[in-house]
Structure 1
Amino acid sequence: MAEGNAASHPQVFVVDSRAGFSPPPRPVKKTRWTLIRHRFLVLVVTLSVLGLVVEGCFVYKLYMKTEAFSICMSDPRCQNMSNSNIFAKQVGSLKDRVASEGASNEVHPTPSLLGPKPFAHLMCSSNPVGEKNVVQWVDKHGDAVTHQMSYNNGRLFVEKDGYYYLYSKVQINAVEVCSPIEHKVMKDTLAYEQSMELMKSKRSHCLTHKRSGVKSSGDEDIWDSFLAGIFHLRSGDYIFVTLDNIQKLRPGPTKNFMGAFMISP
């Protein structure tokens, strides 16, 4: 019976198909902090781009102002002006005046364009010989100009205290001059009775002529002297130029001139 029952009931083997199989990972849901970080990153990028645009606008405006200021600085009548809008209006008015004057090419600057600092530029006079070898100048012709400084009898009068840049240039034909020639910039001040020497250049040379002793009318021995320096001047001081053998001075506004302008009060 035991053997007969065994034959009628065979053994059944069950195979588990899920053995060794791992389920797929569940999708990770974006948390709240992940969304916040994403939005914050987008905001930072947007602000960076906006900042670059704003910076570009400021750079462009600065470039335009710098260009206008450089144009202003190239004009001595506008060196003391800081507002480019005012400068544009002044230039426009100057152009209108030039067009209305027609025949005249010279535009005399108004006091508003000259600025607050004194200055002067004097040109050589047609009769430069003055007393005690004081060179005479022209203050109201061509490029000659004075602003908050006055001129009289070869002397430039200082109206405001400050540090001034002084300069002077002369040109002399020393072909027949064998004595020393001195070019000086002098100052008269209320503190001293005698004139003070600020700058000086000296030349001692005699041109040797040909052995025949015949002097050619075309002989020249040109001597150029330029003096410049910074000095503290007070109101009431006078600045002037002296030159030995002033009769040999070669005429011309570009060969002989003097001037001054305040650097700092």
Structure 2
Amino acid sequence: MEASARYPSVFVVEGPPRDVPFVPPVPRSQKTRQYGQLFLGMLVLLALAGLAIQAYFLIRFRKELDQATAQRGAEASHDRLIQDHKPHSEKPGAHLTGASFTATGNDTLQWEYRHGVSFLQEMDYKEGSLICRKPGHYYIYSKVTLEHASCSAVQQKSTFVTHRVYKRTPRYPKEIPLLTSMIPYCSTDVWRKNSFLAGTVQLEEKEEVYVKVSEIQLVRVKDGTWTYFGTFMI
């Protein structure tokens, strides 16, 4: 009876093979190398950021320097033009240089109109004013050099010095401002500034143009290139 007994068949079922990669442990020296590379990368980024900031300030400084150089170059070119030029045509014109600059009661600057590079052609001069003889369009310009040697010892009356060119006409009772510049006053202890004004205006016969500075005691003359005033018909 035992010999006739049957046993159930045994089947072994294997599951699908799994591709599990084998990751070897990272050696300590390799980890240290990775940290070192990360640290070096951060240093490179910081260096690049520093270079970018430095480049920004250099570009900004160069822009400001170019602007200042262009302004000084324009003034120097204008100075050379005035010194080298005497009118060869019959058109009216005048160029006046700095004088003692004593105020006439209303801060109007007085000028030298007969000596040096100064001249008058078909125009009149009286008490700081250029008087038009021939109607037309005129190019008017004025430069003043302002200076104070010790601003810390000064009781400042205002924070700005005003430089203006005015016109006076028989047809209107009040003076007419034509050109204006406002210069920060005593921004440094030893303070010096230049102010340059220029523009084109219509002048009729007997109309006058003149220059005023609010703090007349700050105006410096020295020579014919520091402070001047003039006009010519265009």
- Band the TM-score falls in, shorter-chain normalisation: 0.5 to 0.7
The residue aligned with 2:230 is: 259
Q: 1:162 deviation in Å?
A: 0.4
Report sequence identity in percent.
34
Give the TM-score normalised by the residue count of structure 2: 0.58
Deviation of 1:248 after TM superposition, in Å, equals: 1.4
Match of 2:220 in 1: 250
Matched residue, 2:200:
230
Pairwise CA distance, 1:128 = 4.0
The Cα shift of 1:116 comes to: 1.3
Report the CA distance between 1:190 and its aligned residue.
1.4
Structure that is richer in strand per residue: 2
Give the TM-score, by structure 1 length: 0.51
Paired residue for 2:162? 182
From the superposition, tell whether residues 159 and 247 of structure 1 become closer, same or farther in structure 2 (CA, over 3 Å): same
Correspondence for 2:100: 126
Aligned residue in 2 for 1:171: 145
2:125 and 2:99 mapped to 1: Cα distance?
Answer: 13
Distance 1:178 1:239, change over 3 A: same
The amino acid across from 1:259 in the alignment is G
Contact 1:178–1:204 (CA under 8 A) maintained in structure 2 = no
Describe the shift of the 1:184–1:168 C-alpha distance in structure 2 as closer, same or farther (beyond 3 A).
same
Q: Distance in 1 between matches of 2:123 and 2:129?
A: 10
From the superposition, tell whether residues 169 and 75 of structure 1 become closer, same or farther in structure 2 (CA, over 3 Å). closer
Corresponding residue number in structure 2 for 1:199: 179
The correspondence of residues 1-265 of structure 1 with structure 2, limited to 5 A, is 76-77=85-86, 114-174=88-148, 175=151, 176=154, 177=156, 179=158, 180-207=160-187, 219-252=189-222, 253-263=224-234
Q: 1-side partners of 2:103 and 2:145: how far apart?
A: 14
Q: Is the 8 A contact 2:94 2:119 kept in 1?
A: yes
Aligned to 1:85: none
In structure 2, the CA distance between the partners of 1:227 and 1:75, relative to structure 1 (3 Å rule), is: closer
Instruction: Write the deviation string for residues 78-98 of structure 1: whole angstroms up to 9, x where unpaired.
Output: x6xxxxxxxxxxxxxxxxxxx
Give the C-alpha shift of residue 129 in structure 1: 2.9
**1:178 CA drift (Å):** 5.3
Give, as a single letter, the amino acid of the residue that structure 2 aligns with 1:255.
W
Decide whether the 8 Å contact of 1:163 with 1:231 is kept in 2.
yes
8 Å CA contact 1:121–1:260 kept in 2: the answer is: yes
Instruction: Supply the AA of the counterpart residue of 2:207.
Output: D
Instruction: Determine the C-alpha separation between the residues in 2 that align with 1:178 and 1:207.
Output: 14
CA distance in 1, matches of 2:196, 2:230: 12
Equivalent AA in structure 2 for residue 248 of structure 1: L
Q: CA RMSD in A?
A: 2.0
Distance 1:75 1:202, change over 3 A: closer
Distance 1:169 1:200 in 2: 12
Identify unmatched segments of 5+ residues in structure 1: 1-73, 80-113, 209-218
Pairwise CA distance, 1:251? 2.1
CA contact (8 A) 2:183 2:195 kept: no
Aligned pair count?
145
Q: Any idea what SS the aligned residue of 2:210 has?
A: strand
